[in-house]
Structure 1
Amino acid sequence: MNPIQLFDAESSTYTYILAAPDSRDAVIIDPVDRNLERDLAHIERLGMRLTHVLETHAHADHVTSAGALRALTGAKACVPSGCGIPPAEVQLQDGDVIPFGGREHIAVIHTPGHTAGSMCYLWRGNLFSGDTLLVGGCGRTDFQGGSAEALYDSVSAKLFTLDDATRVWPGHDYKGQSVSSIGWERRHNARLANRSRADFVALMAALNLPRPKLMDVAVPANRNLGLAHSV
């Protein structure tokens, strides 16, 4: 079954709903607070029961609705253990497996680099890559414990070793692209393909990106599952 991909235009964030084909159970990845009612409507319309809310990291560009969704649905909040989000009852480690539905499993892959705790999630040949790997690019590495060296190693050793056909569902896109594949990214990613570790580190150091506008609000809120900003 294909993931349901939803988009927040203000932050260019993708949210994903995964539905278990053998039950009503569903999982949501990286929900955004201002889309709470939209996401709940999708879940209700399709007759789903939300069991897990997953975060790929503590976001700096939007506030999560994880806390509100947990309160309204009873779903478990699942977060990377290295991101400092203590209210979540499930603190994920590399190699963990999240079961849902009758026989569904989501593999947890720790991919530090964008932030120290960043995680990717693998389900049925679909990789939900957060800000670690984008379509044709990658997340920045200059705050929240980020490291260009760590990101290069995460992608090279953990993501680019997946099957070529693995679909890549990014956490953001700014160019109207919605999905890619590991094989395509390994060969064509503008920042990572055919580039040495040293070249990648130099490239990332030269980006000189502006500070995220919502960082001072979003990061503290997201470390509390967005509860201070929930509706």
Structure 2
Amino acid sequence: MPPRLHCPPPLQEGAVFDLPPAAARHVQVLRLQPGDEVTLFDGTGGEWQAQVAKMGRADVAVRVGAYRAIDRQPAREVHLALGVPANDRMDWLVEKAAELGVASIQPLATERSVLRLSGERAQRRQAHWQSIAAAACEQCGGNRVPVVHALAEFAQWQPLAGAALRFLSFDADARPLLPAPAAPIVLLSGPEGGLSPAETQRARSLGFEPVTLGPRVLRAETAPIAALSALVLAAS
């Protein structure tokens, strides 16, 4: 199978252009040569056959071939909204969520969030997470790269309009995650320690319904991935 490379849109059959730096390094590490085949995707759906046209010291040119309307997205559209976990756990979470076919990821700053980001540092981290999502799609065959939104304060954040809203909870009225509606779902999960009582109340006021994964207490990075897996696999 030819290597898969993510390139910014738009891609067009017959175009010849230099790959972006990350994709070019990938080709060089694989020691591909002119004439070798690669698969290109721009993250918006579908993929293109292509060939390496030129290998330079630091640049790699490709020639774009035929388009293939291949979509490997799950049948159920799930958007994750997450209280950002600490350390590198968010990196792992973004990677696994992209592999599973999440539609988008919304990092949230909550009362109990350990990781605090703002300004240029928050922008750099967002770009880092977005690159992780693209790399995960290169590996797993996904042709739609999930958007990793800018970090938002939970107190001001508004969920996707028209979606079914669910939040992971141990509240007494929480019902099982499945069965779930076929409509797009926004799944909200807290950071280490969960959402605060005030945040739980705000989630409910926004229309989020509490759901549970069972009696076990899962880590902040494990719970949303477990829930996402259940939702997308149940719809396949």
Under a length normalisation based on structure 1, what TM-score does the superposition of the two structures give?
A: 0.29
TM-score w.r.t. structure 2 length? 0.29
